[in-house]
Chains A and B, each alone.
Chain A
């Protein structure tokens, strides 16, 4: 069944701080384009107040989410696109990824168990480990998927200087 899934570590109030758009990037869903995107994510995270270690972890989480789209979402298509939105909130950074891939069942996105050292499924583990929320749902128009992630400035010891 296609539905929504939410990984939430911290509770948020009903009124989220306003979003300040930082960047919108549309790029081909190809592995060799991700290095072009990583620098922008890192700079945006730094602009939001994260230290360099935290910014690099956020880069990893977003990169892994893009890889999931490339490898799993667009596995049968060569001309897929990804749209990345980065926005600053007073309390952190919000990241949105939009694709036009077949709808993903969030129940199938399972990170590896901590004791499992088999290769694979690490990407979803990194997303869950690094980000505070990761919400998978269909696009409002039903033509693909929307992943919204949020990272709080103060949610882990390595977040801020």
Chain B
């Protein structure tokens, strides 16, 4: 499930919860791509992700690449242990900007 928590101007926080899987990834993909198309800084909160599969990881990768193409930033925030395990398996933990929390993510942008 994806909730877009509109933040300050040019900044969005998208909170993903539960299973980020094949069933839900089409909606999540749309939410993430909309966010990176409209904002300069997008943070994806993964604190409450209990399961993520390759389709969910693909959504994050596509959003990251779209953000970069637009000159925007996409960072991951408060990544759950389950999500981090899969990012590490995919060797993508070094590709994304990963922050402990939103405050440190915002600080890194300044």
Contact = CB atoms under 8 A, between A and B. Distances in A.
Does B bind A? yes
A36 to B, nearest CB: 11
Contacts of A57: 85, 89
Nearest to B96: A117
Interface stretch (A14-22, A27-35, A142-150): A27-35
Interface of B: 19, 21-23, 51, 53-55, 57-59, 61-62, 65, 82, 85-86, 89-92, 95
Contacts of A67: 22, 53-55
Contact of B22 (A34, A53, A118, A120): A34
Given A34-B21, A122-B90, 17 more contacts: A32-B23, A34-B23, A35-B23, A57-B89, A60-B89, A67-B53, A117-B65, A117-B92, A117-B95, A118-B65, A119-B61, A119-B62, A120-B58, A125-B90, A126-B86, A126-B89, A126-B90
A12 to B, nearest CB: 24
Given A117-B95, A119-B58, A38 B51 contact: yes
A123 interface: yes
Contacts of B59: 119
A130 to B, nearest CB: 7
Q: Is the interface of B mostly helix, strand, loop or mixed?
A: helix
7 contacts: A31-B23, A34-B21, A38-B51, A53-B85, A120-B58, A122-B57, A126-B86
Contacts of A56: 82, 85
B90 to A, nearest CB: 6
Nearest to B63: A119
Contacts of A119: 57-59, 61-62, 65
Nearest to A122: B54
Interface string A100-119: 00000000000000100111
Nearest to A38: B51
B54 A129 contact: no
Nearest to A66: B22
A70 interface: yes
A63 interface: yes
Contact of A31 (B22, B57, B82): B22
Interface in A68-87: 70-71
B30 to A, nearest CB: 14
